[in-house]
Amino acid sequence: MASSPDVTPSAGNTPENPESGSVPAASENPAGTARRGRVRARRAAVMAVPATLVAGALAVLTAEGALGVQFAISGMPFTVTATELNGTGFEQFGGLDNMAPGSPNEGDTGGQVLIVTSAIKNATLTKLCQSVDLGGTNLLITAGGGAEKVSATDLTTDSTELSGDAAFNNIEIGNDASTLTKAGVKGPIGVFSQQADTVRIANLRQTNYATTAGVFKLPGLKLRFSSTGC
């Protein structure tokens, strides 16, 4: 699993690009000094989905936007699979990731990708596989196939697609993303979200655009080029 700091699209149905704009404002002090402009934060449509196909999509909302990660994404999606993920402290909410200005990968997206950020305070993954299509070949990474599992702290992934067989303990659905407490990550105010004490996902498969982690341990790491991906 490799989505907001502490986190991490190509999928079936592509959501419409969110509208963005800026509203200038100015003020003048009594001494008549130059006006100071300010730009309001970008407003964007955001979507949150649970980590299971059975639950389906939860909501699409418009709210003050916030990036799932704090760096410019490449715009190249990568696939992550694991036979099992177990985590404590789970959160999920929608957001936007931005590519670097002028990126050749932006296509007709305007350089923005609508994503779902999943944050896990502590996670373990069994038989992790990550691959990115480089055009004619795949960069393939595998780890955690032996007795020791892949482990991560403060893990976030920004995804456009996620599937698997999921189970949650003490799940809360419909929270405001700015009030989340389970993983230590805050989403944008006014955005639909969910959180749970624990999460387990068997047969995990994700399409991701970004991943961050405080600590990421990959026992048995292998990196190679391959004709096939995960």
Taking the CA atoms of 41, 42, 47 and 50 in sequence, report the sign of the dihedral they define.
Answer: negative
Separation CA 157–CA 118 (nearest Å): 5
pTM assigned to the model: 0.71
pLDDT, residue 10, reads 40
pLDDT lower than 70: segments of the chain: 1-70
Asked if residue 7 lies in contact with residue 216, where contact means CB atoms within 8 angstroms, the answer is: no
Residue-wise over 32-56: b if at least 16 C-beta within 10 A, else e? Answer: eeeeeeeeeebbbbbbbbbbbeeee
pLDDT, residue 71, reads 87
pLDDT tens across 164-181, in order? 999 999 999 999 999 999
Question: Is 183 exposed, middle or buried (CB count within 10 Å of its CB: 0-12, 13-18, 19+)?
Answer: buried
Asked if residue 185 lies in contact with residue 179, where contact means CB atoms within 8 angstroms, the answer is: no
